Amino acid sequence: MAKDKIVLAYSGGLDTSVILAWLKETYDAEIIAFTADIGQQDELDGLEEKALKTGASKVYIDDLREEFARDFIFPMFQSGALYEGQYLLGTSIARPLIAKRMVEIARAEGATAIAHGATGKGNDQVRFELTAAALAPEIGVIAPWRLESFREQFPGRAEMIAYAEKHGIPVQATASKPYSTDRNLLHISFESGMLEDPWFDASAESCKEMYVLSVSPEDAPDAPEYLELEFEAGNCVGLNGQAMTPLQVMETLNELGGKHGIGRVDMVENRFVGMKSRGVYETPGGTILFQAHRQMESLTMDRDVMHLRDSLISKYSTLVYNGFWFAPERLALQALVTESQKNVTGTVRVKLYKGNVIAAGVKSPVSLYNPDIATMEADPTQAYNQADAAGFISLNALRLKVASGVEQNKRK
């Protein structure tokens, strides 16, 4: 009788390596290891060999970088999403793509379940499983860290290392860094360990080696660098006059942003599961794209359309953060966002300097800015009659006057 198959989200680290062997042992199942290449770079080296040695029957390492940039990062950036005013959602937006591919593999392989190494205290478990529920509700989910038997067997890192040694799992049992990281094309995050103290200064000289994608603003070049971003319908399609794919845009912006110390964020955020957590993020390319996109919108987007879209940013951001990427409400919001972006076309020039993205010019063939109308000098078009403002103000002041009269009568 053929064994059941389980598709595991596999990173090659200690946790998922132990989980791979544990799943095979506990469920007497065939384990298919899956790794999504979403921009981790050297973190993928030797991964297939390691998974096979650990006990995987098959390994998928799929290059999803272009899909990630085109179908996930770019639509999200069109929305202006920014969670709690600071976080550009680098980890949040990657999880739906990983889970989507996992269930595709599970169906192709005839697997009965998918498994992940997310803890029971974090957001990722929710993101993985809500995506699976939306796309393949018939496929089961195994979350070992939520199983009491697993936690009893592995109460700490030492027990996991001992298990790895006993089972010949090729994991280096060296002292770990005093924090955890998660990297992809959009960002890298740092959390746990020393960072669990919100008073700990992650910008201190002693933490310089922690950062991967950027130099500190203090160490950035003393000379600014100018950059032009071309937009079509709300998406960046080229840099400095050179047409690029979404992946090429993100890779180039990451390099430029990192060079100039752009995109570092240190924040305490509200997790979906109810607790606060502290995270440090490097999002160099995303920060440039976010700010340049907003500049492009300022010139080309209708005021009330912009204000309507902006009123939905918090909702949209929370949906992404909480794992509802494939939920009908996010898809409905995306339809509105897409419509709002149809004229967000033109060129934005920015100056990159020591952690800052400075607006340095914007132009568009569909600009809604008319200098003849906006000028403080005489308007040659006579499109705006300043005398009309008196009636406009009077009508808008009416309710305020009525309310004021009521308040005065109350005091009599």
User: Token pair for residue 409?
Assistant: 């009568």
What are the helix (H) ranges across 116-238?
A: 124-135, 148-153, 157-166
Q: Would you say 381 and 373 are in contact if contact means Cβ atoms under 8 Å apart?
A: yes
Phi, then psi, of 379 in degrees rounded to 5:
-85, 110
Q: Mention every residue, 6+ apart, whose C-beta is less than 8 A from residue 197.
A: 278
Please count the other Cβ atoms lying within 10 Å of the Cβ belonging to residue 64. Answer: 21
Q: Decide: residue 364, CB within 10 A, 0-12 exposed, 13-18 middle, 19+ buried.
A: middle
User: Token pair for residue 304?
Assistant: 């009330």
Residues known to be catalytic: 15, 95, 124, 180
DSSP lists the bridge partners of residue 34 as 9, 60
The percent of the chain in helix, strand and coil, each rounded to the nearest 5, is: 45, 20, 35
Q: Mention every residue, 6+ apart, whose C-beta is less than 8 A from residue 62.
A: 34, 35, 36, 37, 101
Phi, then psi, of 36 in degrees rounded to 5:
-95, 125
Q: Would you say 68 and 38 are in contact if contact means Cβ atoms under 8 Å apart?
A: yes
Residue identified by tokens 């994608």 is 213
3-state DSSP assignment of residue 110: coil
- Residue from 230, 352, 371, 356 nearest 293 by CA: 230
* Alpha carbon distance 21, 56 (integer Å): 8
- The 8-class DSSP code of residue 4 comes to P
